[in-house]
Amino acid sequence: MNILIIEDKKPDIKQLEEILFQIEKNQKNFFNITSTDFLNYNDLLSLYKYDLIFLGIELKNGNGIDIGKKIRYVNNKVKLVIVTHHQRYMLEGYKIKADRYFLKPLNKDFFEKEMIEIFNDLTNDLAGIYDPSIYEKKIYFKDIIFIEYYLRHSKVYLYNGKILETKKSLKDWAEIVTTYDFAYSHKSFIVNFLHIKKITNKDIIMKSKDVLPLSRHYKEEFKNAYILYLNQKD
C-alpha cells in the first residue's frame, strides 16, 4: 500500500510513521511510506500511484487545503486524511472530501481504531486480479459490474464500459471472487452487489442500467446474500 505524508514538521512525521509501522505490524500489511513537505508539478503528476495521503494544513511552502484541492483534481479516488493542530479547518476539509480529520498531537488508540476502517476499505478497493492474457492492467473487483458466460467464453463487464473476453469458465471466476461481494444470479451470470440498483421478482437492475436475469434456482440464495451485504454496509 503506497502512502504519502505531506508535512513539514519532523516530530509530527515521526509520530505518524511510528503509529503506521505499528498498524502495519498488527495488520500484517505492507506500507510503502514516502514523506515530503511540498508538492511540485512533477509530484502532482505522480499522485495517481498513492492509495492514501496524510495532509498537514499549516505548511511553510503552502496551504494544505489548496494542496488538497490539487490532489483531488489529479486523483479523486485516493484516501485523504487531514492531520492538523486546529479544529477550524474541519469545514474546509469537507470541501476536499477528506476521509478523516485528526487533531495533533495524535491520540494513538483513537487514530488506530479509525485508520483500521480506512485500511480495510483500501484492502477491498485494491483487491483484484492481474492476468495479461485477459487485460494489460490489473482488474479491480470493485470495477467489475457482472460476468457473463456465453458461447464458451466469459465476458467481464467493467465500470469504465470495457468488456473483457476470456476463456475462463464462470466457475473459475466464481472461485476468484469467492471472498468478495459477488453471487450467481443465473447459471450464466455472476453479479457484483456493489453495482446493484434494484432487485425485482425476476430481474436485477444495475446502476449501469443493465438488466440481468434472476433465476428461480438462485433467487433465494442471491437475495439472502445481498441482504447480508447491505447489513454489513450499514
Position 41 scores a pLDDT of 59
Average confidence (pLDDT) over 201-211: 96
For residue 203, what pLDDT is reported? 96
CA 220 remoteness from chain centre:
29
Give the pLDDT of residue 234.
Answer: 61
The 3-state DSSP class for residue 103 equals strand
When the pLDDT of each residue in the chain is averaged and rounded to a whole number, the result is: 89
Provide the pLDDT for residue 42: 66
- The DSSP-derived string for 158-193 is ETTS-EEEES--HHHHHHHTTTSSEEEEETTEEEEG
> Element (H or E) spanning 54, and its range?
strand 52-56
**Exposure string over 84-94, b if 16+ CB within 10 A, otherwise e:** beeeebeebbe
Q: What burial class does residue 64 get, using C-beta atoms within 10 Å of its C-beta: 0-12 exposed, 13-18 middle, 19+ buried?
A: buried
| DSSP string for 73-95 | HH-SSSEEEEEES-GGGHHHHHH
Tell whether the model's pLDDT for residue 67 goes beyond 90.
no
- Amino acid 33 reads I
CA distance 85 to 98: 16
136-170: pLDDT as tens digits? 888 999 999 999 999 889 999 999 999 999 999 99
* pTM (2 d.p.): 0.66
- Which amino acid is present at 203? D
- Kindly report the backbone phi and psi dihedral angles of residue 150, in degrees, each rounded to the nearest multiple of 5, phi listed first: -150, 125
pLDDT digits (tens, 9 = 90+) for 68-106: 888 888 888 889 999 988 787 777 777 888 899 999 889
